[in-house]
Structure 1
Amino acid sequence: MKLLVAGADRVDAGKTTFTVGLLDYLDAVGFKPRAGNDHWFHHDDYSHAVEQGRLFGKDAKRLAAASPDDLDPEDINPIHRLWRPSPGEGAGLLGQTDREFVVDRVAENYVVNEPVEIPPEVRKYLPLEEAISVSSLPELNEVMGNLHLVALDGIAGRIADRERAVVESYGNVARPLREFEPDAVAVVEPARVRIYEGERYTKACSIASGGPEEGQLEERVPSVVDLIDPVGSASLPALSSEEREDPSAVASAYERGYEELFAAVE
């Protein structure tokens, strides 16, 4: 059984909380193929990882801890991007008007955005001596077409090898792995989850991409779910911070949503 958890909102949809409860409920391994955090907005999480000479985020850490195996965040999250705010009018290397990418961890490799000021802690703690430096979008695209895709292919293989796996997307991106076709999909947003058949959801992703050129962009969940009807839904109660940190408590609170998700597989 392969399941996908995606978010209807760009941030704070509740994907990770839903996923950790699902991992406990199903006794499955969680995967976060791509993730990122921000030097400013997630500074505590950033510092916790970087001071260990590592780069990962809170979501991957929670998924690894909730999985049955003894896993590190990097085992389930091959690509992590560190961002920082970018005040002013410039759009930056990736066309973001409010933030700029600093460094990617791709498996055990690092890719540095050369024109951007690297935080001192990154220089101090991360092994950047052999990092790949990029200073233009064509350079970054070339690196991503090689290094990043190899890492994603590798995690896709590991997901395929698992009898039960749950893949969590990032932001409101509809699918984090292009070739991954889940058995069912949970689209999470504050207070509810909507359930979709995996095959129909995958086809809707292809339609939403629009064509060869547009297909280079990531499909967003709202564009995809506008094309298909859910096969189930459930309310998600508000949880305390203590409950959110306990996978078994989440599993109990969200049980109705998980039952709807499994019904879409059968």
Structure 2
Amino acid sequence: MTPEDGLGPLATALVAAGRVAVLVTVREARGSTPRDAGTCMIVAGDEIFGTIGGGRLEWAAIEKAQGLLASGERNAIMSLPLGPALDQCCGGHVILALARLDKALAASLTREEEAARAGWPVVLLFGAGHVGIALAEALRPLPLGFRWYDERPDAPSPARRDAPLDAIEQAPSGAAIVVMTHDHKLDYGIAEAALLRPDFAYVGMIGSSTKKARFCRGFIANGHDPAALARLVCPIGAGPVKDKRPAVIAAMTAAELLSVLLTQAPLD
């Protein structure tokens, strides 16, 4: 299941509204395919929600789903060798399951999406300034659990007002910590607490080489193991693109987080 598409609530809403629709699910994906097994889309007449990879594979699935709606049939299976049948360069083999949406199927889809989300890696973002807001927007559609914190009373919703150090203490193992608050001293305190937990997958702090050097001196002066500093990413989102616009920093940081938190198969 790929719940980044968020189709469960949509399926429930369609059923509640009396809309006829078909859920298309990639049941099996062998070899090189556009999407993995479990990926879904919904065909509701001429409206399509989600994607199973586009191209002729998706067109064939949409046509079959629309035929299912017209005929009144409830289920169908499509077995598609992508190269021979559809002339797609992927060359793998996909089996699609098509089922008319009903209340039970919509509820099952929602449960599967919720279960999948529970296993997503978690990102804790501290700070809701210009870059923080841009990063929150960049992370929202990604398959990552997301928690956002800013203690200021005028911080934008849905940033939480929880105490940062409590959030660090309660964060799950394997989480990523991104620090970019309105105050350098607060940044240092959060980053220090995060580095004292060796089980985090990523600890990043916005800033410059000067800010990092100052933090490192303070970290050592506080009696902590200098070896922990090797885990600190500062500046975040660094790379060949030298651009300080919030949206660019956010995009680079989101890519950095994905490279650490997700293991993806290479594209052909």
- TM-score computed with the length of structure 1 as normaliser: 0.29
Greater C-alpha radius of gyration: 2
- TM-score computed with the length of structure 2 as normaliser: 0.28
Task: Tell me which of the two structures has the higher relative contact order, counting C-alpha pairs closer than 8 angstroms and 6 or more residues apart.
Answer: 1
